[in-house]
Amino acid sequence: MKKDSKIYVAGHLGLVGSAITKNLRSKGYTNLVFRSLNELDLINQAAVAAFFEEEKPEYVILAAAKVGGIVANSTYRGQFIYENMQIQNNVIHQAYVHGVKKLLFLGSTCIYPKMAPQPMPEDCLLTDTLEYTNEPYAIAKIAGLKMCEAYNLQYGTNFISVMPTNLYGPNDNFNLETSHVLPAMVRKIHLAKCLEDNNWEGIREDLNRRSVEGVDGSANEEEILTILNKYGIQSQNVEESNSQKVVLNLWGTGKPMREFLWSEDMADACVFLLENRNFSDVVQESHSRNSSEISVNSQSHEVRNTHINIGTGKEISIRLLSETIQKEIGFKGKIDFDTTKPDGTMRKLTDPSKLHGLGWKHTIELEEGIKLMYEHYLK
């Protein structure tokens, strides 16, 4: 890519897109194109076609998606599969129609089977059953990366796919109804700390920034305590002091292992691959032959799993994660786990050896990232 190449970042306001945008700017890319959801609904096929005809981007980064944690995935199953497939179909197809030089598609490690080998290599895709709770979202993401592969093979496009592990960082989603595990924990433990300290000003400020089911800082204490209790933040008065005895209840057993990657590290990996990798490189390495020899009519070689994992190769239990965040925030109450609630997949550790072999590795370790995350949340 040239520094003045026109680059369209779809989903530039989200966790992933904002981090990639920041990285591109830091590297001197000046011709970036954006559209907010109010300006362009990527589910609208005609609108997406008109946008590509008007702007004619040379490069596309598809970071727009409907995302959420285990509760959102379980609740909005139809929306997750429909909206994500519509977004992908529209953007990927118009990138082909308008001759985009390279497209980067971002998926998720939930594409891998529930009982995938650990760590999960790219080649374990579609080898077993998916985790049920996020199956619709996973199927949409699998369809996206397979669409990129199929267009590359039939039309000669240069669409590459990456599978980032669990991400966290600036501009994360802290909505308790839809957020992922780490930002949800940060907010819940922050609120539990405020309640523990009888810091009602802090609680009201938090709810004014991000209301929960319509409850904001203007609600009375009883209403606020009710909504906090619903999301696992429970308290009782301690008569001999001015403080509260607070217990935080989290879903599951706390035993599942998860891998977390700072979003700005992920963004750096994405731009690294945009600058250094093409679909032909991946095919050539996978089959030890020149990609130009592989055509849609070729029966002797199969082109599969050309995506690249982006991760740290390190994991932590949900229980230890909660204790690490608790220590950072200074919450002294008890954290319990509701074992009647689902755990999801027990392990989801990526094998990032393919990316490491290309010369890229992460720089922010989890403990430092949690500190940065909480500083960002307070701001």
Active site amino acids: 137
Kindly write down the DSSP assignment for every residue of 262-322, as one continuous string: EHHHHHHHHHHHHHH--HHHHHHHHHTS-GGG--TT--S-------EEE--S--EEHHHHH
Q: Are 82 and 32 in contact (CB under 8 A)?
A: no
166: β partners: 260
Whole-angstrom distance, CA of residue 200 vs CA of residue 206? 10
Whole-angstrom distance, CA of residue 13 vs CA of residue 73? 21
Residue 123 DSSP one-character state: G
Whole-angstrom distance, CA of residue 348 vs CA of residue 326? 23
Q: Are 238 and 244 in contact (CB under 8 A)?
A: yes
Residue 241 DSSP one-character state: S
Which residues lie below 8 Å from residue 337, measured CB to CB, with a gap of 6+? 249, 250, 251, 252, 253, 254, 319
- Encode 297-316: b = buried (16+ Cβ within 10 Å), e = exposed: eeeeeebebbbbbbbbbbbb
What backbone phi and psi angles, to 5 degrees, belong to 18? -65, -35
